[in-house]
Amino acid sequence: MKKYSYILLTVLFVLFLSIDTASAQRITHKKGKTVSNQSRSKSVNGGFKRSTNRPQTKTYNKVTTSNRKITRVSPKRTTTVNHKKTNIGRGNTNVNINIDNSKNVRVNKNARINNRNNRYYNGHRGYYPYRYHPYTPHYYGPHWHPVGFFIATIATTAIIVSIHNQQYHYDNGVYYAQSSSGYTVVPPPTNIIVNTMPEGVENITIGDEHYMYFGGAFYINENDEYKVILAPDGAVVTNIPEGAVEEEIEGDKYVVYNNTYYRPFLQNGNNFYQVVEMEITE
């Protein structure tokens, strides 16, 4: 009987030790998972603070300037200006840049302005003082075309006018010469007469003389008709049409249209052109 009592006590003792060991391991496991609220520290972006034991990532994959050699290679560039185009070569690449030559200034060393006439223009002795401003072609509307412009058919509003047995078609201040394939704009023939003037005519007065100007042409009134004349010396206009060029004479730039020289000047902040007389020099 005693033998069985010892066996029972031994079993109970072993069972007690097993329960005690399991409880101790459970308590230790719970402590390992516990994170104190005080140990958490949030950053301004809502995350947690970086571990002090973690290496700084900014020291990785960076090349310091002290050990880095920088070499800058400039591409070979050559520039050639041939009036209309500029070729820029970069290695094997060619770039063509178109340059507008419509405003190129030509130099005339064989002419000079006639300032010795001592004439008065509306109370002003001689020409107005030169003051350069860039030539900008004036747009006279969709019915006006520059000299050299070609059309296949003429407008029904055009009328036939003639001088020296030569016929022209006149429409809205523009003169056309007919050919087998169509009509080409030509300069207004001097002394030709038309019976209408287009809208936008400038009225000009020099002393007692009255003129009209439109599209680079000057007119006088003769018996209620309008006669094309040579540009009157000293006439002042506000606009010059497309097709003019700038010409430099004795350092000043003049605008030349239909063999007439216009001198740019300013008056009360506005741009004007005055017809001037040129003389040939040796």
Q: Where are the domains of the chain?
A: 105-280
Mean pLDDT of the chain: 76
Residue 108 has a pLDDT of: 82
**Percentage of the chain modeled with pLDDT above 90:** 53
Residue 181 has a pLDDT of: 94
Torsion angle, CA of 17/19/20/22, rounded to 10 degrees?
A: 120
Q: State yes or no: pLDDT of 64 exceeds 50.
A: no
Q: Which residues of 155-177 are buried (b: 16+ CB within 10 A; e: fewer)?
A: eeebeebeeeeeebbbbbbbbbe
CA-derived radius of gyration, the chain:
47
Query: Do residues 112 and 281 lie in contact, with contact meaning Cβ atoms separated by under 8 Å?
Result: yes
Q: What pLDDT band is residue 22 in, cutting at 50, 70 and 90? A: low
Encode pLDDT of 217-276 as tens digits. 999 999 999 999 999 999 999 999 999 999 999 999 999 999 999 999 999 999 999 999
User: Residue 140 class from Cβ within 10 Å (0-12 exposed, 13-18 middle, 19+ buried)?
Assistant: buried
Residue 220 has a pLDDT of: 98
């809502």: which residue's tokens?
46
Provide DSSP, 180-210: SS-EEEEPPPTT-EES---TTPEEEEETTEE
Rounded CA gap, 241 and 139, in Å?
Answer: 7
The single-letter DSSP state of residue 48 is B
Containing H/E element for 218?
strand 217-222
Q: How far is CA 125 from CA 39, 120, 197, 275, 277, in A?
A: 98, 4, 32, 14, 15
Residue 91 has a pLDDT of: 37
Strand-by-strand arrangement of the 209-214 sheet: 193-194, 225-229, 217-222, 209-214, 202-206
Mean pLDDT of 208-218: 97
- Higher pLDDT pick, 210 / 34: 210
Residue 274: CB atoms within 10 Å: 20
Rounded CA gap, 71 and 188, in Å?
Answer: 66
Rounded CA gap, 174 and 168, in Å?
Answer: 10
Count of helices and strands (H, E) across the chain: 1, 23
pTM of the model: 0.63
Encode pLDDT of 108-161 as tens digits. 877 788 776 668 887 778 899 999 999 999 999 999 999 999 999 999 999 999
Q: What pLDDT band is residue 7 in, cutting at 50, 70 and 90? A: confident
Containing H/E element for 244?
none
Contacts of 127 (CB under 8 A, 6+ apart): 113, 115, 121, 234, 263, 274, 276
Query: Do residues 252 and 129 lie in contact, with contact meaning Cβ atoms separated by under 8 Å?
Result: no
Residue 126 has a pLDDT of: 87
